Amino acid sequence: MEDINNPEIVNVLAEVAGANSLDIVEELSEENEMDEFSLAERLGMDVKTVRKILYRLYDSRLVNFRRIKDDETGWYIYLWKFDEPKLNILIHRMRKTKITTIRERLDYEKKHQFFMCENGCSRMPFSDAMEASFKCTHCGSRLDFRDNSHLVTQMEKQLKAIEISIGS
């Protein structure tokens, strides 16, 4: 694998399979195939933990396996392989999901005026603040208008950066 320490790859792997998944993917990308026992031994991890991570990676279609039978024990051994092209597909899909989420939130932020408790424990749109008589439903403090233009600007920048990264 070319750049396993790319922050986006690290974040995607952590999101879909947990923090230790990076180590497993790195090992699998260096080898053609590995069984979970060898992975666990190399990484100094419990084999159950390795299996859980492999199953999560498999659910995200980032690893494949083939099953062989050990003639001596009669047990099946699973040989795992990292599917690098699927990582790029997953990253692209997650970017698109993030874009949709940000657009929805951005639209919501643009369409509403927000009021916030002076203690910071509650933030709500005008209609909810009015229903609550401009008092915080948690602590009873007064709700004051909060300008969200800085948040809108930040979300627009984030959206633009993601769109540029996928060529939208």
Both tokens of 4, joined, read 């396993």
pLDDT attached to residue 104: 97
pLDDT attached to residue 165: 77
CA–CA dist 158, 153 (Å, integer):
9
For residue 64, give the 3-state DSSP assignment: strand
pLDDT attached to residue 166: 74
Provide the whole-model pTM: 0.71
pLDDT attached to residue 122: 92
pLDDT attached to residue 168: 57
pLDDT attached to residue 144: 96
pLDDT attached to residue 19: 84
pLDDT attached to residue 158: 92
pLDDT attached to residue 4: 73
Half-sphere exposure in the Cβ direction for 124 (13 Å, CA)? 19
Question: Which residues of the chain have a pLDDT value below 70?
Answer: 1-2, 167-168
> Which of 56, 15, 61, 22 lies closest to 39 in space, CA to CA?
22
47-59 vs 21-30: helix axis angle to the nearest 10? 80
CA–CA dist 1, 18 (Å, integer):
19
**What domains appear along the chain, each with residue ranges and CATH number?**
7-82 (1.10.10.10), 89-166 (no CATH)
H helices of the chain, where?
7-17, 21-30, 36-43, 47-59, 84-111, 126-131, 149-166
Residue reference for tokens 């396993």: 4
pLDDT digits over 106-125, tens only? 999 999 999 999 998 999 99
